[in-house]
Amino acid sequence: MPSTPLSPALALETVLANVAARPTETVAHSQLLGRTLAQNAIAPFDLPPFDNSAMDGFAVQAADLTEPNARLKWVETVAAGEVAKGAVSRGHCLKIMTGAPIPHGADAVVMREETAFDGEWVRFETSAKTGQNIRKRGSDVREGEVVLAQGTPLRAAQWAMLASLGFAETEVFQTPKIGILTTGAELVAPGEKRREGQIYDSNSFALRGLVEATDAQIVESRRCGDSPAEVEKHLRELAAKCDLVVSSGGVSAGDFDPVRDVLHEHARVHFWKIAMKPGKPVLFASLGETPIFGLPGNPVSVMVAFEEFVRPAILKLSGRRFLHRREVRAKLAHEIRRTPGRTEFMRATLHFQNDHFVASVRGDQGSGRLSTMTNADALLVIAPEIATLKAGDWVYARLIEMPENH
């Protein structure tokens, strides 16, 4: 079953060429968190919709407060949600709360802490400048402005922005439905009794966590042994109800690699093997119209291959604008020696110092060492022709977590 390994770049290009965004639907605002905008969100009005006070204090005419200790007569109090009954004239002031509309005649707000209130009179311990502590109409968003672009994921800030503009419902892409299959007769679930030769299944949990981080919906996560008939049954059932299926194990070149055999026999295989480390035996196929990833069985290979290929595919299904992790340049903290020939994704921690990132490779880079992923901030992308990198050399680092000290 010969297969020439693709470069990671060509493999990703092939994946994305075989994945399309889900259809759209209109969803109530309360259900939008984690969804992706299917059209530009355009402001229907200015935000703020009127000039308002940035703090609790007194609305004044700045010309009355050219020097400290001026006294003005208090005439009214206005709270947020109310409108002043009268205007502010020379020699007078109005007590105002944060968010309340600026009354006619006023052109500045003095914070409460800089005043002394004595009956009907207010003494101001400071001078005032025109426009101070006033949030001007449209200073945040102008009517007709695109506030959120199509393909934007709706996190807390974006959700709040749509609420502030009165969007009761919004058109978004349908949430991708993902199926997970973990194969291997040696796997047992955490909590089950483990016999000699067996190991606890970690891949299904890694995949579930990685999928959930994309905001996709996991329809079902299954585990099965190495029977080709059983693998085919699970893959067909998952493909029938999911937009994408990701499996782990069973795709190498051994005697017990049923996912490889089943997909070569029953699916349209786009590629098998990528010139990368870890994760060379990645298989990508379509079973009917459903994309299927066959990832290796080693846990680090699963997570690295997911980051590089599965995550971008899910994000494209979701309708996202940006499919790739942020990439930064970093200086190596130490020398690296490796065997050239394949693009290598090295697990590393990053520290920010002296205006740049410094990268340290995390331990032995074997694909079975899951511990090297637990503290990794980034994957260092090492070109296939490079054999040695010296301390201080610049490398590209693909962020998988934002370093805590950044």
Per-residue pLDDT at 252 = 87
Q: Is 17 helix (H, G, I), strand (E, B) or coil?
A: helix
Residue 168 tokens, joined: 């009761």
Q: Is 237 helix (H, G, I), strand (E, B) or coil?
A: helix
Interacting residues of 229 by C-beta distance below 8 A, sequence separation 6+: none
CA dihedral 325, 326, 327, 330 (to 10 degrees): -120
Per-residue pLDDT at 3 = 64
Q: What is the mean pLDDT of residues 41-69?
A: 97
Between 197 and 1, name the one with better pLDDT: 197
Residue 186 has pLDDT above 60, yes or no: yes
Residue 164 tokens, joined: 């502030």
Average pLDDT over the chain, rounded to an integer: 94
**Is residue 281 reached through a cis peptide bond, with omega within 30 degrees of 0 on the bond before it?**
no
CA dihedral for 232, 238, 239, 241, sign (positive or negative)? positive
Residue 51 has pLDDT above 60, yes or no: yes
3-state helix, strand, coil in the chain (%, to 5): 20, 35, 45
pLDDT band at 1 (very low <50, low <70, confident <90, very high): very low
Residue linked to tokens 């974006």: 158
Pairing state between β 121-124 and 70-78 = antiparallel
For residue 403, the Cα-to-chain-centroid distance in whole angstroms is 15
Residue 236 has pLDDT above 60, yes or no: yes
Residue 402 has pLDDT above 70, yes or no: no
CA atoms within 13 A on the CB side of 322: 7
pLDDT band at 375 (very low <50, low <70, confident <90, very high): confident
Express as a percent the part of the chain with pLDDT over 70.
98
pLDDT band at 26 (very low <50, low <70, confident <90, very high): very high
Over residues 276-299, the pLDDT tens digits come to 999 999 999 999 999 999 999 999
Residue type, 131: G
How far is the CA of 400 from the CAs of 254, 304, 403, in angstroms?
Answer: 31, 10, 9
Distance CA 335, CA 357 (A): 16
H or E element, residue 219: strand 217-224
Distance CA 248, CA 177 (A): 18
Task: Render 85-151 in DSSP notation, one character per residue.
Answer: SSPPPTTEEEEE-TTPBPPTT--EEEEGGGEEEETTEEEESS---TTTTEE-TTSSB-TT-EEE-TT
Per-residue pLDDT at 367 = 75
Pairing state between β 199-200 and 187-188 = parallel
Per-residue pLDDT at 2 = 47
Per-residue pLDDT at 403 = 59
Residue 35 has pLDDT above 90, yes or no: yes
pLDDT band at 372 (very low <50, low <70, confident <90, very high): confident
Per-residue pLDDT at 404 = 56
Per-residue pLDDT at 374 = 85
Between 261 and 367, name the one with better pLDDT: 261
Helix axes 228-241, 258-266, angle to 10 degrees: 60
Distance CA 37, CA 44 (A): 17
Phi and psi dihedrals of 169, rounded to 5? Answer: -155, 160
Q: What is the mean pLDDT of residues 365-391?
A: 90
Q: Are 94 and 110 in contact (CB under 8 A)?
A: no
Residue linked to tokens 């020699």: 91
Over residues 64-87, the pLDDT tens digits come to 999 999 999 999 999 999 999 999
Residue 317 has pLDDT above 80, yes or no: yes
Q: What is the mean pLDDT of residues 144-151?
A: 98
